Amino acid sequence: MNYSIFDLLKLLGSLGFFLFGMKLMSESLQKVAGDRMRGILSAMTSNRFKGIFTGFLITAIIQSSSATTVMLVSFVNAGLVTFAESIGVIMGSNIGTTVTAWLISILGFKVEISMLVLPLIGLTFPLLFSKNTTRNNWGSVIIGFAIIFIGLDFLNHSTPDINNNPEILRFLTDFSNYGYWSVIIFLLIGVLLTMLIQSSSAVMALTLVMCFNGWIAFDMAAAMVLGQNIGTTITANLAALIANTSAKRTATAHLFFNMIGVLLILPVFFPFLDLISSITVSNGFDSPMVAAGQTSQQTAAAIPIALSIFHTIFNLLNTFILIWFVKPLEKLIVKIVKQKEDDEEFRLQFISTGLLSTIDLSILQARKELMVYTERVEKMFHHTRELMKTNSSKKITHYQHKIKKYEEISDQLEVEIAAYLTEVSKQELSHQSAENINKMLQITTHIESIADSCYSISNAISRKTSGKLQFNEDMYGNLLQFSDRISELFCLMIGVVRDGQLDINFHEFRSLMQNIKKDHDKLQQEHFKNLRKGGYKTKVGVIYADIYTELLKMGVLADEVVSLLVSQEKPVIEKIY
């Protein structure tokens, strides 16, 4: 068997295709993720038992635990499912994969979902040309889903062709006579083969061939099955390479769950095999427990059934034991896979799906969420200021990516916070509670508008960069100085929203806002004067004006937020957008 550089490039290309499908599906899901879809997935995974059933059902249908966990990583990355909710689905997918083993053992084949992928793309492709944004995004979701399967299939066919050359593994017979160490060796072989071939089903078929030819005994085959359980987790971890922290935690949970199960079974490995042998014999088959090379026709028929029983009972027991330790497992993985700086999730932190027992508690919950929302937009504003300061193309790209991500988060959070407050407002409310909810709805809108202004500045700088335009020193200095004044005002607003600093000197705040208005008028007058004199090109001037106008909008919005919380007076400047 030859494996050339070209074959290696095919493997890398297959991996790239697979990751592209994961990225396309995840990003498209973020665009189409409405309350209904989010609600359905949350209901399906609302507790560990529902999650297990969901994982089992999906894996049994699509015949691939790898594809199930990759989709799960994509859902978590899109914010449709939390890391905690994903753990139950992982457990269920491990049980679901045993259906594949039974199909191979009894029928001799597995359902090839990849055969339906191209017809699926053919049916979905017209949606990409739809003028309806929702249909267009759903088309991208389905095609991303299809590309994941194509990528998995390419990965399977791009790896060294051990499937058609099983004699390569005949040398493994020499490792069967080391007692308990042989179990460890064959377990590691199962891990490596599954990582290499990218298909636990293919490795299961190889294991059966090796048993049938008498190269290894049933106990070594069972050890390889344990290794396959660990090796199959590599696919989800590959998908998580381009995902956020929660998705990485989901992939890590899959690895930990399977590894813990293997560690639990190893101390009782041989007694457990005796139990499997007894169950196999009681169902009318020969005992699979014979030495390598002494396999009869009846024993050869019994081994696939025995391995399927072993695989099924192992996964059922593993799930039954670990289902009671979901919380400790979750805490352990959170400690190991730490949250990266600025790696935000598309999730609410305090607002749950239902209202709390009292209106006051529901309002308090919404107020906490509003604080988190404001902090996220504060980070976005910080990135915007850093973007304005830098001339490095690498840093510009970095900050623009961050700002775009925060804009997506901001849009989603505004919808969910507003929807929750609207539900609360339908209850019987006191006058004060109704007023508080009304203010929070307005503040939510204002905060989101600040995020919009940050994104508009990012787009303006993108136009400047792509057009290879430059600000002169005066323009650059004016924008930084003006943004400093807005930052000062913004910090006061953050303090009011986050910390409830209602004792701020409101007259000083208003004075600051008046000075910002004067600064803006001065910038505008100088800008028009420079345009008339030809001090800079019109294209540069338009971008310059767009930026200082968006900065003023942020000041206006910050003033309105503080006015809602501190005073009944109208803002010093009316809305200009």
User: Who wins on pLDDT, 419 or 566?
Assistant: 419
Quote the percentage of the chain above a pLDDT of 90. Answer: 9
Phi, psi of 164 (to 5 degrees): -90, 0
What does the pLDDT read at residue 17? 78
**Averaged pLDDT for residues 325-353:** 73
- Quickly state the pLDDT bin for 551 (edges 50, 70, 90): very high
**Averaged pLDDT for residues 195-214:** 70
Residue 65 placed within a domain: yes
Residue 349 placed within a domain: no
**Does 465 share its domain with 319?**
no
What does the pLDDT read at residue 445? 92
- Quickly state the pLDDT bin for 280 (edges 50, 70, 90): confident
In this predicted structure, the answer to whether residue 561 has a pLDDT above a threshold of 50 is yes
**Does 126 share its domain with 267?**
yes
Residue 217 placed within a domain: no
What does the pLDDT read at residue 210? 73
Q: In whole angstroms, give the CA distance from residue 160 to residue 202.
A: 12
User: Who wins on pLDDT, 472 or 165?
Assistant: 472
Q: Which helix (H) or strand (E) holds 519?
A: helix 506-533
What is the per-residue pLDDT across 210-264, written as a single tens digit (0 to 9) for each?
776 677 778 888 898 899 888 888 878 877 877 778 888 888 888 898 899 999 9
Q: What is the DSSP letter of 64?
A: -
**Does 383 share its domain with 270?**
no
**Does 323 share its domain with 375?**
no
Q: Report the domain count for the chain.
A: 2
Q: In whole angstroms, give the CA distance from residue 113 to residue 24.
A: 20
Range of 281-295, 368-382, 547-561 with top mean pLDDT: 547-561
- Quickly state the pLDDT bin for 457 (edges 50, 70, 90): very high
Q: Is the whole-model pTM more than 0.75?
A: no
- Quickly state the pLDDT bin for 436 (edges 50, 70, 90): confident
What does the pLDDT read at residue 572? 43
**Does 379 share its domain with 285?**
no
User: Who wins on pLDDT, 159 or 329?
Assistant: 329
**Does 301 share its domain with 374?**
no
What does the pLDDT read at residue 422? 85
Asked whether 243 and 75 are in contact (CB, 8 A), the reply is no
What does the pLDDT read at residue 297? 57
Residue 81 placed within a domain: yes
Residue 451 placed within a domain: yes
What does the pLDDT read at residue 569? 47
Domain range for 366 is 359-566
Residue 575 placed within a domain: no
Integer Rg of the chain from CA: 30
What does the pLDDT read at residue 109? 46
In this predicted structure, the answer to whether residue 468 has a pLDDT above a threshold of 60 is yes
Over 240-296, what HEC string results? HHHCCHHHHHHHHHHHHHHHHHHHHHHHHHHHHHHHHHHHHHHCCCCCCCCCCCCCC
Residue 341 placed within a domain: no
**Does 110 share its domain with 60?**
yes
In this predicted structure, the answer to whether residue 309 has a pLDDT above a threshold of 90 is no
**Does 561 share its domain with 490?**
yes
Q: Which of 275, 305, 336 is the C-terminal boundary of a domain?
A: 336
Is the backbone of residue 82 left (phi > 0), alpha (psi -120 to 50) or beta? Answer: beta
User: Who wins on pLDDT, 387 or 430?
Assistant: 387
**Does 120 share its domain with 154?**
yes
Q: Which of 287, 304, 336 is the C-terminal boundary of a domain?
A: 336
In this predicted structure, the answer to whether residue 511 has a pLDDT above a threshold of 50 is yes
Residue 210 placed within a domain: no
Q: What is the DSSP letter of 172?
A: G
What does the pLDDT read at residue 106? 64
Sequence-ordered alpha helix ranges (H) in 467-503: 473-499
Angle between helices 83-106 and 65-77 (to 10 degrees): 160
- Quickly state the pLDDT bin for 290 (edges 50, 70, 90): low
**Does 269 share its domain with 380?**
no
Place of tokens 């400093």: 484
**Does 390 share its domain with 241?**
no
- Quickly state the pLDDT bin for 295 (edges 50, 70, 90): low
CATH of the domain at 474: 1.20.58.220
**Does 543 share its domain with 436?**
yes
- Quickly state the pLDDT bin for 299 (edges 50, 70, 90): low
In this predicted structure, the answer to whether residue 571 has a pLDDT above a threshold of 50 is no
Q: Which of 336, 371, 397 is the C-terminal boundary of a domain?
A: 336
Asked whether 196 and 48 are in contact (CB, 8 A), the reply is no
